[in-house]
């Protein structure tokens, strides 16, 4: 097992390395000069030349790439051209917002999707199954921004029961320490327990709509896969045997069906995490969510080279790691699989 | 998900109408697929017959309702002359939604066709050549798949400048790796299959083998994936528009762009968001239904 | 204060000779208060008694850039720092251009207009407890004059580079309460520019503590929210800056001007990058006040009985349908005039500004010093068609550009406004080709380089004077990219007589003469139609009903020490 993990980790290196080259080449291909982005409208040619030199943009591209890579290996992700702040610092400040949203969306998708899938499987080919199928069809067919705006309209504008945007009520003046609102609520110095609870609840209220919007596609897919794999497993011989033995349905469900039906579900959950990071780009735009999603879109427009290169690289790293974790989880769930 | 459906479909010995005929009959018996056809029919019909269906000119301004107070500006709510209301400038929303179907169909279809061509080309080379070429190409595909699709598309639009052709290419490139993988996987499976080995052993040239035997048999998963990809392509195109990367001419009635321009009217004029949103959903539902139906009917082993 | 736009200010050339006033009375130098920009009424009826206490949550459209007032060039930073920092002089609350003493008590200007001698207030302490005195003033001016080159390269020193370093020669301490500032050349805009936040006085001790002049900016904590940051003399003190999120200020209990000490315990400035989410937060009661809203959201607030919309009275911006006449067909005067007749400005104001804007009849907002009604072309498509016919130009196609990803105070909906103008142009026979680009870097660098024939842009004032619009923003001759001095490449508008008039206006020492020269320049512009000025907008603020005592200002120089919160 350890050997397998090591091999997979080593296997990720060429992909990440290749990705760093592709990203570097790609972002430098896009026309537009970051020096003029910094200097603005009335910069003279001389000023632009000075700025390019200062930023190291005049070096040959391979030299720039090696410099960047050397920095990366020492944990230096470069500085943003727009505000001259280190990319890593800004990333770490924004990333928790995206992670918090992603986790909430995943909890929603898994927490609702698996029971829904099992429910549909139990009533396969009857109307509850049909209803769930229609729901999951809608889930993959509604764009995140359409669903997000719809939820905002219903719950914030019309019913006024949930906030339409941002992460927490500005009036609470929550101190950001970890940048996870739901954690910081408990860490805030000088608050009573009740105040902490209030802040936490407020954070959760702000999370609900964006999490549903972002989680809708994974929800639909997890529901489908759960349904399909439960139906498939339920027809296996050993389940029939168990039933013939007179085991209770509850026990069959827990011991025999779900244990085996989990396999494809876990795979899909892993695949969806990568999709969530991409979905966050649009969700964060709809809900004015201060995460990495919108930041990176702006950075591409601004030719903020280091921001784009580094954040996408980190995204990809997370994507690869999640896939690895999924494969390991797979092995644990299925004793028949042995990685060597 | 789609890669799980890579299937070696062999023609049954007594098939009366062949693979496609059987699939077609199964498709016609598949109620969700038929419903998908209906939705797609509405979508494509709207796109094709837009000038006949739409009562107005998508770019023109129309006067406010007679009871509007003087000096009032749009948006105006739906009424008989303007079924989906009027936007800020007084344009007819219904007409714009109808003409928007043309944009979505053209760009969506174009991007999927283009994506299948690029992806298919790469996948065919990798699958047919195998070995080192396969390895290199698939690592490139891995790299592309590791970049979140929407960011890749944004980057391509930034690179190529604004416009519908550019959006088509951007969405195509983000879809291409999926097709590459599918085709390669299918080809590899078939390469090792008995009938190819048999054909090879009697000396059928590689080129002929690839074109006459291997490709057609790897096509079914591609057809299914392409149909489903049409749904995501329509959503991705609208997503780019929503992020402000739509066509440069503001008169172009692109659904995602119409949505993003109307978010500021969420309170005052929700109908400006509802109708373009509904149009996107209907088209996407149509292709998703048909895609699922196709999958089931093209792969006889998949039973409900 | 300004959008991030880097111009060669004519002030920088040190061309303006002030009226040689000698005396203690603070007189605005060359730019009397715009009459059109009437002082709006404060939000408090006089009979109400202010109540102390409470924290005000304010929405800002963007984050501050740094915590060193000398190193900023954006309106968000200056909006926050106006509460914390003070200069020798400032703008009178509610006035766009009337200069009043703040940390000085009075000043005199020498006969040769080269030396400004300020008598300083006594008993003023910085927030770190150190004394404000002549040495502190000199320390600040000397620091600005010798700011590390690295900071200029980072482009943090726009205002220092254009309005201070070429203008100020030296600073002398005459006594602990008197300081003399010697200029390199007479410059009557000097006092006006010293009301800008970048020239506010920081505590020398805090500057030292925060390594504010360290050649390696990474070590400079003064500018990056760390040790020493933002230490001034104002009614509020800096508490913390969480970049991208908020800036917190707290009440300065020891404010030197006890009668104007703040009512509020503190202010939190929060970043709300778009108008819709700002309005969401305002309606949900999550914020008390927003510095700005889009006109459409402003209209929503007006219709909401639980909120107040705040009209800033005058305007300090101009939306400009810009032309570069080195591109065909705009080298032809009749074509430029035809464009001016083709566009329906009033309709654009009605549709996109909820009426909160005035049609422009000049290249600066109404009410400015020397402003003259120029009777510029108004909407007349027939006249436009006739002019096109007269011009003899047959190829009427050209690229027409708008920025894809911004809203500006003068241009809340670039795409929609572009479309309206596009339609007007096509209606008279032009063949514009719609184009768009990202604001930064593509749009700004291309339009500045003169690449666009016709495009949308505007100007938000640095200060309320004719020079800031006519010359700085638009048509003043300047250092060009090939290092020659000449017409602004952005517009490609060459008229030496026009420039001579502006140059004379900047150099004269008589107000009457200055007015005459500025008006000459305006007449040249009206005759040459180098661009089509569209409108001046009045971006609204909005607040909860219980927010009282706010004094709005079209230049956004708004002080929160008078603001208080009624029971709610």
Same domain as A269, residue A135: yes
Residue C459, exposed/middle/buried by CB under 10 A (0-12, 13-18, 19+)?
buried
CB contact, 8 Å: C219 with chain A? no
Task: Determine, yes or no, domain membership for A113.
Answer: yes
For residue B239, the distance in angstroms to the closest alpha carbon of chain C comes to: 15
Q: Which two tokens stand for residue A111?
A: 């927490």
Q: Domain count for chain A, please give it.
A: 2
Q: Do A33 and C441 touch (CB under 8 A)?
A: yes
Same domain as A160, residue A258: yes
CB contact, 8 Å: A131 with chain C? no
> Cα separation of B214 and B216, whole Å?
6
Residue B203, exposed/middle/buried by CB under 10 A (0-12, 13-18, 19+)?
exposed
Q: Do B73 and C297 touch (CB under 8 A)?
A: no
Same domain as A197, residue A49: no
Give pLDDT < 70 ranges for chain B: 1-19, 70-72, 213, 299-304
B21 with B29: CB under 8 angstroms?
Answer: no
Instruction: Give residue A337's pLDDT.
Output: 58
* Residues of chain C with C-beta less than 8 angstroms from the C-beta of B71: 350, 355
Summary mean pLDDT of chain C: 88
Q: Do A277 and B148 touch (CB under 8 A)?
A: yes
Residues A287-305, mean pLDDT to the nearest whole number = 87
Same domain as A104, residue A59: no
Q: Do B148 and A312 touch (CB under 8 A)?
A: yes
ipTM for the whole complex:
0.88
Cross-chain CB nearest to B154 (options A145, A152, A297): A297
Residue of C nearest to A54 (CA): C153
Residue of A nearest to B235 (CA): A143
For residue A189, the distance in angstroms to the closest alpha carbon of chain B comes to: 38
Q: Do B151 and A221 touch (CB under 8 A)?
A: no
Q: Do A42 and C5 touch (CB under 8 A)?
A: yes
Split at pLDDT 50, 70, 90, the class of C28 is: very low
> Cα separation of B189 and C78, whole Å?
66
Residues C485-513, mean pLDDT to the nearest whole number = 89
Cross-chain CB nearest to B89 (options C405, C416, C435): C416
CB contact, 8 Å: B158 with chain A? yes
CB contact, 8 Å: C277 with chain A? yes
Which residues are CB-neighbours of A168 under 8 A, at least 6 positions away? A174, A181, A199, A202, A203, A206
Same domain as A123, residue A49: no
Task: Determine, yes or no, domain membership for A236.
Answer: yes
Same domain as A68, residue A204: no
Residues C149-170, mean pLDDT to the nearest whole number = 86
CB contact, 8 Å: B243 with chain C? no
> Cα separation of C127 and C141, whole Å?
19
Beta carbons within 10 angstroms of residue B210's beta carbon: 19
Q: Which range (A17-21, A153-157, B51-55, B89-93) has the least confidence?
A: A17-21
Closest residue by Cα to residue B282 from B40, B95, B31: B40
For residue A50, the distance in angstroms to the closest alpha carbon of chain C comes to: 7
C151 sits in which H/E element: helix C149-153
Task: Determine, yes or no, domain membership for A225.
Answer: yes
Task: Determine, yes or no, domain membership for A1.
Answer: no
Question: Which of helix, strand or coil describes residue B106?
Answer: helix
Dihedral pair phi/psi, residue C505, rounded to 5°: -60, -40
Residue of A nearest to B285 (CA): A141
* Residues of chain A with C-beta less than 8 angstroms from the C-beta of B158: 30, 32, 300-301
pLDDT in tens, A200-230: 999 999 999 999 999 999 999 999 999 988 8
Q: Which of residues 161-200 of B touch A (CB under 8 A)?
A: none
Q: Which two tokens stand for residue C362?
A: 């000049």
The structural domains of chain C, ordered by start, are 10-23+35-310+539-565 (3.40.190.10), 317-537 (3.10.105.10)
Split at pLDDT 50, 70, 90, the class of C30 is: very low
The count of residues in chain A is: 340
Task: Determine, yes or no, domain membership for A87.
Answer: no
The strand pair at C115-120 and C178-183 is best described as antiparallel
Which residues are CB-neighbours of C318 under 8 A, at least 6 positions away? C360, C363, C364, C365, C410, C458, C459, C469, C473, C533, C534, C535, C536
Q: Which range (C262-266, C384-388, C445-449, C451-455) has the least confidence?
A: C445-449
Task: Determine, yes or no, domain membership for A138.
Answer: yes
B251 with B60: CB under 8 angstroms?
Answer: no
For residue B277, the distance in angstroms to the closest alpha carbon of chain A comes to: 6
* Top-ranked range on mean pLDDT: pick from A248-257, C276-285, C400-409, C542-551: C542-551
Same domain as A210, residue A316: yes
CB contact, 8 Å: B159 with chain A? yes
Residue A155, exposed/middle/buried by CB under 10 A (0-12, 13-18, 19+)?
middle
pLDDT in tens, C392-407: 999 999 999 999 888 8
Same domain as A293, residue A154: yes
Q: Name which of B40, B136, B139, B150 to mutate to probe chain A: the one with the most chain A Cβ atoms within 10 A of its Cβ.
A: B150
CB contact, 8 Å: B259 with chain A? yes
Cross-chain CB nearest to C419 (options B162, B251, B268): B251
- Number of residue pairs across A and B with CB atoms under 8 Å? 120
Instruction: Give residue B11's pLDDT.
Output: 44
For residue A305, the domain's CATH number is 1.10.3720.10
Residue C472, exposed/middle/buried by CB under 10 A (0-12, 13-18, 19+)?
buried
Is the predicted pLDDT of residue C246 greater than 70, yes or no? yes
Same domain as A67, residue A106: no
Q: Name which of C63, C149, C246, C441 to mutate to probe chain A: the one with the most chain A Cβ atoms within 10 A of its Cβ.
A: C441
Question: Which of helix, strand or coil describes residue C227?
Answer: coil
pLDDT in tens, C276-288: 889 999 999 999 9
Beta carbons within 10 angstroms of residue C394's beta carbon: 7
Is the predicted pLDDT of residue A256 greater than 80, yes or no? no
Domain that holds residue A282: 95-333
pLDDT in tens, B154-205: 989 988 888 999 999 999 999 999 899 888 888 887 777 777 778 778 877 7
CB contact, 8 Å: B68 with chain C? no
> Cα separation of B13 and B164, whole Å?
47
Task: Determine, yes or no, domain membership for A8.
Answer: no
Cross-chain CB nearest to C276 (options B59, B261, B263): B263
Is the predicted pLDDT of residue C446 greater than 60, yes or no? yes
Same domain as A171, residue A66: no
pTM of the model: 0.88
Task: Determine, yes or no, domain membership for A26.
Answer: yes
Q: Which range (B122-136, C50-64, C370-384) has the least confidence?
A: B122-136
Cα within 13 Å of Cα(A238), Cβ side: 9
Same domain as A171, residue A43: no
* Chain C: partners with 3+ C-beta pairs within 8 Å: A, B
Q: Name which of A145, A271, A273, A310 to mutate to probe chain B: the one with the most chain B Cβ atoms within 10 A of its Cβ.
A: A145
Instruction: Give residue B73's pLDDT.
Output: 77
What's the distance, Cα to Cα, between the start and end of chain B in Å? 17
| Per-residue three-class SS string for chain A | CHHHHHHHHHHHHHHHHHHHHHHHHHHHHCCCCHHHHHHCCCCCHHHHHHHHHHHCCCCCHHHHHHHHHHHHHCCCCCECCCCCCEHHHHHHHHHHHHHHHHHHHHHHHHHHHHHHHHHHHHCCCCHHHHHHHHHHHHHHHCCHHHHHHHHHHHHHHHCCCCCCCCCCCHHHCCCCCCCCHHHHHHHCCCCCHHHHHHHHHHHHHHHHHHHHHHHHHHHHHHHHHHHHHHHHHHCCHHHHHHHHCCCCHHHHHHHHHHHHHHHHHHHHHHHHHHHHHHHHHHHHHHCCCCCHHHHHHHHHHCCCHHHHHHHHHHHHHHHHHHHHHHHHHHHHHCCCCCCC
Q: Do C277 and A50 touch (CB under 8 A)?
A: no
Same domain as A128, residue A64: no
* Chain B: partners with 3+ C-beta pairs within 8 Å: A, C
Instruction: Give residue C1's pLDDT.
Output: 40
Cross-chain CB nearest to B162 (options C351, C354, C436): C436
Q: Do A149 and B150 touch (CB under 8 A)?
A: no
* Residues of chain B with C-beta less than 8 angstroms from the C-beta of A319: 146
Q: Which of residues 142-171 of C touch A (CB under 8 A)?
A: 153-155
């Amino acid at each position: 097992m350890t050997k397998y993990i090591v091999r997979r980790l080593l296997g990720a290196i060429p992909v990440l390395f290749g990705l760093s080259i592709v990203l570097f080449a790609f972002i430098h291909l896009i026309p537009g000069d970051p020096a003029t982005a910094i200097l603005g409208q009335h910069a003279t040619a001389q000023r632009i030349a000075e700025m390019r030199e200062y930023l190291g943009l005049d070096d040959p591209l391979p030299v720039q790439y090696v410099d960047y890579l050397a920095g990366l290996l020492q944990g230096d992700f470069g500085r943003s051209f727009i505000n001259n702040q280190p990319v890593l610092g800004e990333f770490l400040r924004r990333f928790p917002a995206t992670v918090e949203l992603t986790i909430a969306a995943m909890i929603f998708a898994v927490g609702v999707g698996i029971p829904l899938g099992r429910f549909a499987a139990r009533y396969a080919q009857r109307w509850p199954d049909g209803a769930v199928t229609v729901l999951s069809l809608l889930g993959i067919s509604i764009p995140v921004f359409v669903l997000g705006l719809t939820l905002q309209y219903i719950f914030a504008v019309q019913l006024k029961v949930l906030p339409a945007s941002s992460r927490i009520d500005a009036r609470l003046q929550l101190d950001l320490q970890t940048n996870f609102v739901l954690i910081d609520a408990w860490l805030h110095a000088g608050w009573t327990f009740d105040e902490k609870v209030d802040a936490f609840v407020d954070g959760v209220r702000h999370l609900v709509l964006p999490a549903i919007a972002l989680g809708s596609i994974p929800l639909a897919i997890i529901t489908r896969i759960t349904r399909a794999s439960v139906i498939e497993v339920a027809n296996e011989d050993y389940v029939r045997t168990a039933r013939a033995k007179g085991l209770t349905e509850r026990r069959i469900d827990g011991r025999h069906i779900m244990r085996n039906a989990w396999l494809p579900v876990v795979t899909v959950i892993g695949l969806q995490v990568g999709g969530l990071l991409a979905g966050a780009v649009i969700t964060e735009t709809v809900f004015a969510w201060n995460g990495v999603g919108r930041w990176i879109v702006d950075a591409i427009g601004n030719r903020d080279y280091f921001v784009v290169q580094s954040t996408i690289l980190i995204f990809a790293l997370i994507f690869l790691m999640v896939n690895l974790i999924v494969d390991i989880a797979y092995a644990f769930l299925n004793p028949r699989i042995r990685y060597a | 998900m789609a890669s799980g459906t890579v299937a070696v479909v062999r023609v049954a010995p007594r098939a009366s109408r062949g693979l496609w005929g059987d699939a077609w009959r199964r498709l016609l018996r598949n109620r969700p697929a038929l419903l998908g056809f209906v939705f797609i029919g509405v979508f494509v019909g709207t796109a094709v017959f837009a000038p006949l269906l739409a009562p107005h000119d998508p770019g023109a301004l129309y006067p406010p309702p007679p009871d509007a107070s003087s000096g009032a500006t749009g948006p105006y709510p739906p009424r008989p002359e303007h079924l989906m209301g009027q936007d800020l400038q007084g344009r007819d929303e219904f007409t714009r939604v109808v003409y928007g179907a043309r944009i979505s169909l053209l760009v969506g279809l174009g991007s999927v066709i283009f994506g299948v061509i690029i992806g298919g080309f790469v996948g065919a080379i990798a699958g047919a050549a195998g070995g080192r070429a396969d390895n290199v190409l698939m690592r490139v595909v891995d790299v592309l798949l590791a970049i979140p699709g929407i960011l890749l598309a944004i980057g391509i639009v930034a690179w190529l400048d604004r416009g519908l052709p550019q959006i088509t290419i951007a969405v195509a490139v983000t879809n291409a790796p999926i097709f590459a993988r599918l085709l390669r996987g299918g080809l590899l499976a078939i390469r090792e299959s008995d009938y190819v080995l048999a054909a090879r052993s009697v000396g059928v040239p590689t080129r002929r083998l690839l074109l006459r035997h291997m490709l057609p048999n790897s096509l079914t998963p591609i057809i299914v994936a392409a149909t489903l990809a049409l749904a995501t392509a329509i959503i991705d195109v609208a997503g780019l528009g929503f992020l402000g990367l739509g066509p440069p001419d503001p008169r172009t009635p692109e659904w995602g762009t119409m949505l993003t321009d109307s978010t500021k009217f969420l309170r005052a004029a929700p109908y400006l968001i509802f109708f373009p949103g509904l149009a996107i959903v209907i088209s996407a539902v149509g292709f998703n239904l048909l895609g699922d139906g196709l999958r089931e009917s093209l792969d006889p082993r998949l039973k409900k | 204060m300004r959008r991030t736009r880097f111009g060669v200010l004519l002030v920088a050339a040190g061309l303006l000779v002030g009226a040689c006033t000698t005396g203690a009375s603070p007189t605005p130098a060359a730019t009397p208060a715009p009459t059109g920009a009437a002082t709006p009424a404060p939000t408090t009826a006089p009979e109400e008694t202010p109540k102390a206490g409470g924290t005000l949550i304010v929405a800002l459209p963007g984050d501050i850039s740094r915590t060193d007032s000398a190193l900023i060039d954006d309106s968000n930073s200056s909006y926050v720092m106006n509460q914390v920092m003070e200069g020798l002089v400032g703008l009178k609350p509610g006035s766009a251009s009337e200069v009043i003493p703040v940390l000085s008590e009075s000043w005199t200007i020498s006969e040769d207009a080269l030396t400004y001698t300020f008598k300083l207030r006594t008993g003023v302490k910085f927030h770190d407890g150190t004394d404000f005195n002549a040495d502190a003033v000199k320390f600040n001016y000397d620091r600005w004059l010798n700011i590390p080159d690295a900071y200029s390269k980072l482009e943090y020193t726009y205002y220092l580079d254009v309005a201070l370093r070429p203008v100020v020669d030296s600073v002398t301490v005459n006594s602990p309460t008197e300081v003399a500032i010697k200029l390199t050349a007479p410059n009557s805009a000097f006092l006006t520019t010293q009301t800008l936040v970048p020239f506010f006085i920081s505590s020398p001790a805090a500057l030292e503590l925060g390594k504010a002049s360290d050649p390696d900016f990474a070590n400079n904590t003064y500018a990056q929210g760390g040790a020493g940051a933002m230490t001034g003399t104002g009614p509020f003190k800096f508490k913390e800056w969480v970049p991208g999120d908020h800036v917190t200020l707290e009440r300065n209990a020891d404010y030197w001007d006890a009668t104007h000490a703040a009512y509020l315990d503190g202010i939190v400035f929060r970043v709300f990058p778009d108008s819709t989410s700002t309005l969401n937060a305002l309606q949900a009661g999550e914020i008390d006040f927003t510095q700005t809203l889009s006109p459409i959201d402003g209209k929503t607030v007006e219709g909401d009985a639980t909120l107040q919309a705040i009209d800033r009275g005058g305007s300090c911006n101009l939306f400009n349908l810009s032309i570069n006449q080195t591109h065909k067909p705009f080298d032809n005067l009749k074509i430029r005039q035809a464009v001016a007749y083709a566009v329906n400005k009033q309709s654009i104001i009605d549709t996109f500004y909820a009426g909160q804007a005035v049609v422009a009849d000049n290249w600066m907002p109404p009410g400015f010093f020397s402003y003259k009604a120029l009777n510029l072309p108004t909407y007349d498509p027939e006249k436009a068609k006739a002019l096109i016919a007269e011009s003899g130009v047959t190829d009427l196609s050209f690229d027409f550009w708008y920025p894809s990803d911004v809203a500006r105070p003068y241009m809340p909906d670039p795409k929609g406004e572009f479309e309206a103008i596009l339609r007007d142009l096509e209606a008279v026979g032009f063949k514009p080709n719609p184009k768009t680009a990202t604001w930064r870097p593509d749009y700004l660098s291309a339009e500045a380089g003169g690449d666009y024939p016709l495009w949308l842009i505007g100007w938000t004032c640095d200060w309320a004077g004719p020079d800031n619009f006519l010359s700085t923003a638009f048509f003043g001759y300047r250092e060009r990219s090939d290092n020659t001095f000449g017409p602004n490449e952005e517009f490609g508008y060459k008229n030496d007589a026009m420039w001579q008039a502006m140059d004379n206006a900047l150099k004269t020492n008589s107000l009457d003469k200055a007015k005459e020269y500025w008006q000459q320049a305006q007449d040249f512009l009206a005759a040459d139609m180098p661009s089509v000025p569209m409108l001046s907008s009045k971006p609204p603020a909005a607040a909860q009903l219980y927010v009282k005592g706010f004094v709005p200002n079209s230049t956004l120089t708004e002080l929160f020490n008078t603001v208080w919160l009624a029971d709610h």
